[in-house]
Structure 1
């Protein structure tokens, strides 16, 4: 029995699918199948039942899963302690970023991280919340920023703040919509959001919560583009509170109900749950807590 075999066993148990587990582990499906088969032969009993849609643990597999998780946790703990004994932390951290860097306090945070851990180098990859979440799950990224609610148990979140979003109106629609109810807002044209933007799911959730299905005008993927299109009178959109109020101040856009917050969304830092005790993750979290005054 090898540690890597137990890691594969846990991945298959969590994913319920050999192909998805293989993708997560960066292995081929035949390699994952061979490792599970080797464990089953060594233990002398089946660990999974196979179905057309995937696999699920047998009763024996369910009983053995906690033991496997404990062994892996002990192995990770040993690795982490060894790393801590190696002296000054060093290496590269890969961080996923979203939206506007200033909103993430990215500059001051990375500067603090550099000052505190001079042998740690940071590499950032800009994307959207969904892509950052997927890359953290696949361990392509060490961690990243995420806007919204995390649906995965194997990803841990550190909430940094909440971002409020306002409904932005073209000036030409303000007279009709500035104090409108949601039913009336739902009849107005709205700017559609590409799936490749962090605002897409937030906007859809807002519409669902208010039971509206607006007519969509186009599909756009950047907050700055939304601002320009609202200014031009194309339709209604949600904008981050700070952005919305900055442009409302010069009259180029109007705000529904004077800038009332339509929805609040958590801004979080995310990382793989099995790295909770990893010193590198601890460094990132510690410096973030200082930067965001969470201590």
Structure 2
């Protein structure tokens, strides 16, 4: 058996679907199917049961999975240790960014990384949290910034900070809503959010906590757009505390209860769990901890 076959087997087991595993591995579905078939023939047993919605491990597959994961982990660690023994780290790293660059401390972080490792080139890609998370899972990004709770076991997180969010009000609703209870806030129009925007999950959590289900106006995927639409009077929205207070100070929006923090969520740096022993990732994480001293180990 080959390492690439084990990698494909583990990916299919984790995804429960041949097409999703193929996408994750950057292979065609027939290639994935052929690798699984070859592995099953060599082992002399079926690893998966097929059904219309995907695949699931057989009892034999369940027994074989921990061994396959262990072999892959050992081979990755051996490769990373070898890389750590050779010359100064070099190459390109691809980082996903979200929201406002200053909030992420991108400038100080990349300046420090450049100072420590001048042969590393960084490429940043701006997006929304859900897209960054998916690209980290697919390994098209080496790492990225993410707001909210990480739901995936195959993605590791370095928590950097806990951010507060305030309820931003259009000026035309300020008098009515500034001191309102949650039942009243739930009757106001709220700006709708793309499911891929982390603020969507944070807002949904807030609504569940207070048992409200506001009417949604549109669907938007950018914090700057949300702020402009609140200014225009289109609806209510959560905004990051610093952003909300800045616009309140200039008089373009109002804040519920004087800017009380309605909910908090973590800002995290995320990366594939497979890269835990990668010396390049270790450099990224160590430099992040210097820029974010409160970051959890």
Q: Which ranges of structure 2 fall in alignment gaps of 5 or more residues?
A: none
Normalised TM-score (structure 2): 0.95
| Residues 1-295 of structure 1 mapped to structure 2, 5 A cutoff | 1-195=1-195, 197-293=197-293, 294=295
* Alignment RMSD: 1.5
8 Å Cα contact 2:128-2:221 kept in structure 1? no
Offset from partner CA, 1:233-272 (integer Å, 9 cap, x none): 2221111100111121233221111111111011110000
2 CA distance for matches of 1:47 and 1:227? 51
2 CA distance for matches of 1:81 and 1:125? 29
Q: Secondary structure at the match of 1:149?
A: coil
Normalised TM-score (structure 1): 0.95
1 CA distance for matches of 2:28 and 2:142? 23
Q: Secondary structure at the match of 1:290?
A: helix
Mean CA deviation greater in 70-79 or 87-96: 70-79
With over 3 angstroms needed to count, the CA separation of the structure-2 counterparts of 1:8 and 1:248, relative to structure 1, is same
With over 3 angstroms needed to count, the CA separation of the structure-2 counterparts of 1:28 and 1:244, relative to structure 1, is same
2 CA distance for matches of 1:288 and 1:160? 8
Mean CA deviation greater in 187-196 or 85-94: 187-196
1 CA distance for matches of 2:252 and 2:213? 26
C-alpha deviation, 1:220, in angstroms:
3.0
With over 3 angstroms needed to count, the CA separation of the structure-2 counterparts of 1:220 and 1:48, relative to structure 1, is closer
With over 3 angstroms needed to count, the CA separation of the structure-2 counterparts of 1:234 and 1:18, relative to structure 1, is closer
With over 3 angstroms needed to count, the CA separation of the structure-2 counterparts of 1:73 and 1:219, relative to structure 1, is closer
Q: Secondary structure at the match of 2:103?
A: helix
Number of residue pairs matched by the alignment? 295
